[in-house]
Every structure is written in C-alpha cells, then in structure tokens.
Chains A and B, each alone.
Chain A
C-alpha cells in the first residue's frame, strides 16, 4: 500500500498543492466564473437589443403602451405596475435566499429549510407571472395593419386613444380558408389566416369617419405620429397588405418584428434561467431536509445555488431597465 503514496518532497511548500490563492473553494470559484460567462451571454442579447433599437430609434414601440396589463384590471391602462410587482417578487426571493445562506453559516437546518422554501415559492410566482405576460403579449389587444415596407399601422380615434380593429371592421362576404397539407400541392400549407382580412379593415376604416392611423414614427414631441384623415386613407389604401393581431416571431402588432423577437428571446432566456434555478433550488431543498449538508458539516451548496439565484435577479434588474424603462 505504501507504494501508492506519492511523495513529491514539496509538502507544505507553495507548489505542494492544496493552495487557494483566491481563498474560495473550487466549486464556489467555478460558480463565479460560470456566472461571468453567463453574464456575457446576457450582455450579448441585451447589446443586440440595443443595436436594433438604435437602428430603429425613431420608430421603436413605447414599452408603457405594450406592457400595460394587470390581473383583474381588464382594459385598465396600468403601465409597469405588473412588471414592478414581478421585480419585487424576485428581489424578495433573493432576500430569502441570502437569509438561507446566512442561516447555513450558523448550521441552522430549520431556518435554511424555511428560507429555501420561500425562495422556491417566489421563483415559481415569478415564472408564472412571466407566462401571463407572454400570454398578453402573444394575444395582443388592438391589432394593427402591416405594410409592404414591413411596418405596422395602428388605429386611433379623434382623441388619440387606441381603437381595436374588431371595433370598426366591416363584415364582407368573403370566406378564406387556410390551405392545409391535405389539399395542398407539394405538401405546402399557408401560414395562419388572420381573423379579419385587409379588405374588411379597409372597408371598415372608410366607413368610420373619426378613425385615424397612427404610424410608428416619433414626432418632435416624442409621441407617435397621427396622420390626418386624408393621409390615413391614402396610406392605408396604398401600403397596407395584411392584418396582424398579437405577436409571433415574424409579425407583431407593436412595431418592428425584432421587437417581439427580442422580447421572446431575452425574457424567455431569463425565464428559463429562473425555471432551472427553481429546479436546482428544489434539489438542494430536499438535500437540506434529508440532512445531507448537516452530515457534511457545511452548507456551502446552499451558498453556491444562492449565487446562481442572485445572478438571475441581477440579470432581471438589467432586463427590467432596458426592456421596460428606457
């Protein structure tokens, strides 16, 4: 047996191994470097978002108008309250997480269990809220018309309030059916047919004298430009080619397609982080209950998942600013 023991003659010397120049355990240090690289991934997303936004600086949607829903307040304009609520949930779950880490340092198993549990609940509420936010975004509220140049035109009444397409659209006796694979040549199929046709919107618009078109361009006051009735009519007849309600990756009623793309990718990527954070937290939570860390004599695993969880909160602070505030 003694033959397997390797002696280098450097025990206790600097190069003898077992050094920790950064005074952090291997696992914790690696969690930190993972976080740095993940932060760079998120920065890549947010920088690309900034790029597109600077590219469309004179026509980007106003976040307050897009994200203005609040549960049980249907039709009430409530900009940002909901996302502020989500931010609080996440910050608070960060607090319970750091309290769990703190209790772990003092080897208080009961407190760690309680705080981990609260953290998991907070994370679950956040993911649920994000799903609700997505649902509203995908469903849309007012609808818009798409133009040949890839822009959207929205509708307002004489006071400048938004008007939903379904409120003025004319009913024309046209039936349109999406081509399915079973009746298509070469197994092709249409994309989904919108609820109303562009002809119905045009006819309804012509019949309602007090409805105007709002383009995505900002005027000198930082408001979206509202065209006069004549301009609206000519623009609609000359340029409109389609109707869009809600959002997907190719069309949305809010503005440039990139706006919805970045919304889905950035909040989706973040939401996926929250989801995986919740799952990891649940695993650690059960380990805490089973007494794994009590036997190990250290709650450092709680600290490591805590780092990840705080990072998710940290990213949200930036997403919140760049998507909802700026």
Chain B
C-alpha cells in the first residue's frame, strides 16, 4: 500500500520553476529565430538540411529531455524503466524516420527527374 510514497520525498518546487524558465526561454529563442530567420542559418546546409532546421530540431529534443526527465520524473525512476521507455521509443522512431524520409526524397526525385508528367 502506497509503497512509492512511503519513502521520503524532497520538494522539487525550485527545480520545477527552473525547468519552466528554461523551457520558456528555449521556446522564445525558437520563435525569435523562426521570425527573423537569420540568412546565414537559412543558407548554410548541413547533411542536406538547413542549419536553422537542425537548430530547431536539436532545441526540441533538448526541451523533450527536460519535460521527460524533470516533469515526468524519469530521472527518479529505476534505470530499467527509464531505458525500456526511452530506448524503445528512440530506436523505433529513428528507424521509422530514416525509412520514410529517404523514401519521400526518392519519390521527389522520381517526380522531378523521371519520365513522368504529373503537373499537366
């Protein structure tokens, strides 16, 4: 009965507000970058994607990490549960993304360079 609450719980209020400030700050940075769209970030490509988009994606994963670790309290769970949750998701999602994005790019090439008229 109530086994998970019988052991002592520290109050995390300070950390919660810190994470809130951090997430808000990162969101503001994202929106700011999205509105001004600095030219060199848009024009510079890294691995076939704009540097700006890489920044957005990395900041998103950074935010996701804090939501999962601090808000969902993964940092306090056992290593086994944490790995079961995080690695299952990361592995399957990366695989799905790789397959579908590669395939989408291939179809784009077919539409563009193949002997197919699709805009008539």
Contacts and interface: CB of A to CB of B under 8 A. Distances in A.
B46 interface: no
B81 interface: yes
A99 interface: yes
B4 A80 contact: no
Given A39-B89, A50-B100, A92-B20, A64 B2 contact: no
Contacts of A22: 77-78, 80-81, 84
Contact of A51 (B4, B72, B93, B101): B101
Contacts of B42: 222
Contact of A43 (B63, B78, B93, B118): B93
B9 to A, nearest CB: 4
B67 A313 contact: yes
B120 A54 contact: no
Interface string A64-87: 100000000000000111001001
A21 interface: yes
Contacts of A39: 89, 93
A320 B100 CA distance: 20
Nearest to B17: A95
Contact of B88 (A36, A57, A91): A36
A56 B108 contact: yes
Contacts of B120: 148-149
A88 B4 contact: no
Contact of A87 (B11, B27, B81): B27
Contact of B89 (A36, A306, A321): A36
Given A24-B4, A55-B108, A105-B9, A325 B81 contact: no
B72 A149 contact: no
Most chain B CB atoms below 10 A, which of A40, A52, A92, A317: A317
Given A314-B68, A321-B60, A91 B23 contact: yes
B56 A321 contact: yes
A298 interface: yes
B97 A47 contact: yes
B81 A317 contact: no
Interface string A282-326: 000000000000001111100000110011011001101100111
Interface stretch (A27-35, A201-209, A262-270, A272-280): A27-35
A150 B72 CA distance: 45
A51 B30 CA distance: 23
A25 B80 contact: no
A23 interface: yes
B18 to A, nearest CB: 11
Given A149-B119, A300-B5, A326-B57, A310 B72 contact: yes
A314 B65 CA distance: 9
B104 A51 contact: yes
A151 B19 CA distance: 44
A94 interface: yes
Interface in B17-65: 17, 19-20, 23-24, 27-28, 30-31, 34-35, 42, 53, 56-57, 59-60, 63-64
19 contacts: A23-B81, A25-B3, A39-B89, A50-B101, A57-B108, A58-B112, A80-B31, A91-B27, A94-B71, A95-B16, A98-B73, A102-B12, A102-B13, A298-B5, A300-B4, A313-B71, A314-B64, A325-B34, A325-B56
Given A81-B31, A91-B24, A98-B70, 20 more contacts: A22-B78, A24-B77, A28-B4, A32-B81, A35-B85, A36-B84, A36-B89, A47-B96, A50-B97, A53-B104, A55-B111, A58-B112, A84-B31, A91-B23, A105-B5, A105-B9, A149-B120, A222-B42, A313-B67, A321-B30
